[in-house]
Structure 1
Amino acid sequence: MQRADFHYELPDELIARYPSEQRSDCRLLCVDGQSGALEHRRFPDLLELLEPGDLLVFNDTRVIPARLHGHKASGGKVEMLLERPLDAHRGLAHIRSSKSPKPGTELIFEGDVHAIVEGRRDALFELRFLGDTPMIALLEKHGHMPLPPYITREDELSDRERYQTVYARRDGAVAAPTAGLHFDQPLLDALADKGINRAFVTLHVGAGTFQPVRVDNILEHHMHSEWIEVTEATCQQVRETLAAGKRVVAVGTTSVRCLESACMKSSDGKIAPYSGDTDIFIYPGYQWRCVDALITNFHLPESTLLMLVSSFVGYDTIMHAYQRAVAERYAFFSYGDAMLLTR
């Protein structure tokens, strides 16, 4: 298939720049992959749409305030976006400046935070933050939330709470697993009271999630790599759910990539514990292994995530659903409305 096959027209005003006042106060477009039927609901309707014994799988990564503004010791302006922590004081980062910094260059950021460029790994720079304070603590105090480029505004204090899921607990992401942003504690409690189970995986979302597909033939696209962890406890919950004839419901494409990677990495194609990198690329024709339903936001035209959801419910079905969502003026992308896709 061609990248252009996944294009759709989106009016700029449908891109959500801010979240709804209440997390769960958003629309939910339900898509039946078997029949192609669409249904317009509200997000709290998950209480009706999910059944006791179904398993919700959440990504518990926590977004780091990973962006810093500053300058080189020599004076030139720089902007740093952490991609991946390496240890308590070192990390791989994107650097934006008029001229790429060389090894040994000192960078000075807001809050008198100093870092040294130690080397380069492809497009990323290896930085060592000076002083005794751990890098994550420095970012928590002085960093900015790394809002996606399409939000087109500076981050605000409220984004520290709203661009973060209520169940986030493991530092490491530079972008939120946005489907999870719609869950507030009252809804989580109500789902649990109904007998809907929950499990957790971890995928530390990298800035590569926003990288466009640049090749025409999607088979030539090389996916970025991200770190994931799927524990034995989660694997056992998935096995028990499937054995009982209930549904495994992934909350977000990051949870999908964790679960399906854990299947692909195993010797028999069934889910097994896995910790490490994944560069799984899911597109039409992919053979699904353990995910039955998917809660997700709307994705960018021509993106790998749009390719993933088209694989899940069918290309024609998803493109029709997106056309209807535009016509019905749904809110798109990270702070926008949600979908429930079933196979």
Structure 2
Amino acid sequence: MKYVTALQDSQRLPRNASIAFHLAALLTFFVYGIYRFTHDDLFLFGVFSLALLPISISLILEIQHRGTMLHKQITLMLVCIAIVIACYFLGYKSLIYVFPTIFIFFFIFDLKYASIISSIYALTCLISALNIETFALIWRFGVATFDCIIFAAIFAYIIAKQKAVLIHLATTDELTGALNRKNLTTSLNRSIGELRQSGTDASLILIDIDHFKMVNDTYGHLVGDKLLSQFSDVIMQQLPVEAKLFRFGGEEFLAQCENCGLQKALELAQRLKQAVSQTQFDGVPVNISCSIGVAELRLSDSLEEWLKQSDIALYAAKKSGRNKVMSRLDK
């Protein structure tokens, strides 16, 4: 099942690191521009001075917490254009700046696009430098440059894999494989925002295993843990791919369903209840059932109210005899 987790947010370049990148770029271009000015190279002085403008704007946006990844990507591309121009006029003296910019690609683009764009950029710089450099020198720079791209791609791949594992461990319940409550508030607030902005329906389905304490007391906690794990698997197999399943409490699970109004949510809840009833859980000789409360999101709902209504509906299902599906009460 595909989950939208903190992984997406983690792809963003940390703000402090981004500010450091901007400051380093500003300092480099400023010093290099002054150096060209002192050597009466007004054209390259102008090129580097113009490159300072997008970097400065991007830095200001970052300081004001308004910076986006697109801003950084555009800024990097403009900086690269300035370096390509410098390579045409200065040759190897500017080729040395290709190496640090290559690594920046792998911070602000995903691995595939970083590899492609940085290769095109490096090749363009090398061809530009042929204007005044020998092929033998450009060949040596080219080997070193593409080695740099390969090493950067390998490191980026390793870091991305390690990050994915860490985020999975931080956001997933180890026993059941469902999401834990770490990002529940963020996820629910996103649904609330989408309803208010674009009218996208969403519903919560709160599921409780009936008589779970009796299973624990009768058959032991190891059997109870196994039941929780299998129960989660059964639920996840029935949920649509865009839904998220959280372990809400001990034996309670919360399904957050996007593009899902009340009727659709009730039909899904009935399928969940039926799937649980038809499953023979390992080590449990008795039939297992569940009670379910459904709460569709309303425009007037706060996060707390939405959760509260799903809990009230679940309580009504349990009070009516368990193994039932109930929806939030109309006001």
* TM-score bracket, shorter-length normalisation: under 0.3
Higher helix share: 2
Greater RCO, 1 or 2 (C-alpha within 8 Å, sep 6+): 1
Higher strand share: 1
TM-score by length of 2: 0.27
